[in-house]
Amino acid sequence: MLRRHARAACTALAAAGMVLTGLQSGSATAAQPSPGTAPAVQSAARALGAAEARPELLAAMGRDLGLTRAQAERRLVNEAEAGASAARLRDRLGASFAGAWVDGAESGSLTVATTRSADLDAIRAAGATARLVRHDLSALERAKERLDRAADADAPVRYVDVRANVLVVEETRTGAGAGLAAATGVPRELVRVVRSAEAPRPLYDIRGGDAYYMGGGGRCSVGFAVTRGTTQGFATAGHCGRAGQSTSGYNQVAQGTFQASVFPGNDMAWVAANGNWTSTPYVKGAGGANTQVTGSVLQPVGASVCRSGSTTGWHCGTIQQHNTSVTYPEGTISGVTRTTVCAEPGDSGGSYISGSQAQGVTSGGSGNCSSGGTTYFQPLNPILSNYGLTLRTTGTDPGPGPGEPEPGGTWKAGTVYAAGATVTYGGSTYRCLQGHQAQAGWEPPNVPALWQRA
């Protein structure tokens, strides 16, 4: 196991501050606690570990995104701050919110869309570019849900393109997209049909990214190491195996058993390992080096993301759309994220990570890592929540230590919180801004990137 690589991040944080000066709320003075009180409030970049990326991750971003190391460092920091700012604005705008995305080689520009002209000044005041559009995000997502229920493999991919403020349907047969919209009663003005040669399929074939083998044949990739109580294990894709199926590790040693699996509908599963295997807070990065995992905050559209898999190794790209629906030959899955990262059979189940934040597990896609392609990942937080799992991270174990008093309230380390959830902590009520699994050190008063006092 490699020792943790430590390096100073002040330069990257300072650079990001110049680019996104308006994106952090509160003053530096206000963020400092009195001596002997709770820890200092952290910036989003520092709290999420964006300023501590390992050289291997930065090198892969340079290779696949055409960035210098300094640009990659600034991009990760900017994306963390932009994600926090977009979450605060979404909470403030409510029903008029129409999406957010980052642009630029260093993700130095955040755009937030709204259907209400009265919101434009508030968006600009937060340091973002304001965009006035016709359709709010909730309306587009409701329309997509109607399409999802009737879609087949002739219209295999559906997603909301927040940049274009439209619901995109990719069709492999002429007329399939228009027919789907007509059959479901979705207004044609909401839909843009795109001709595509994609034929997405699951990529069949315990540090994240390592190979594992299913009893009865087949190979997939470990997503992220998890625990459930004292049980060690890992999250992976549901299409890789069914409950009760045995697995062996990359070394062909008996490893564990699938405890639960969903596919289609979603593409999620988890494997409980036997006593010979131990979960570690790492993903297999470039050259086999360890990349540390520190949390599970989902990043915004346009953000960089890297994937680790047992067939093609380590590759990077960007997040294109969240909450995408894909119809494979086996059926439809919903709630996956569409990316530009390449993948091939055997990479299924493997890790998607942005900076040090776990994003999800490889579901399927099209193309390959020679000519390029599109892939989809099942977000990790729903897997953690559905199965009561705790992501293994570099942080301390959840819960107070011996003799430490509980602060009081409903917030609890280890719980997966969705955006909009409310908790109490220390006598105050807080609303979640970005979905994540809570951990010690991320208490609501200390991480304004994740929580806002209600």
- Catalytic positions, written as ranges: 239, 267, 348
229 CB neighbour count, 10 Å cutoff: 8
Backbone phi, psi, residue 141, to 5°: -70, -35
Rg (CA), the chain: 21
DSSP 8-state code for residue 37: S
343-to-146, 221, 370, 415 alpha-carbon distances in Å? 29, 11, 10, 31
User: Measuring CA to CA, which residue among 319, 331, 326 is closest to residue 360?
Assistant: 319
CA distance 73 to 251: 35
Q: What is the dihedral of CA 338, 297, 208, 311, to 10 degrees?
A: 20
Among candidate residues 404, 393, 377, the one with its CA nearest the CA of residue 319: 377
Inter-helix orientation angle 69-93/10-19, to 10°: 50
Are the C-beta atoms of 206 and 233 separated by less than 8 Å? Answer: yes
CA 98, CA 95: separation in Å to the nearest integer? 8
DSSP string, 124-173: HHTT-EEEE-SS-HHHHHHHHHHHHHH--TTS-EEEEETTTTEEEEEESS
- Cα–Cα distance between 99 and 161 in angstroms, integer? 9
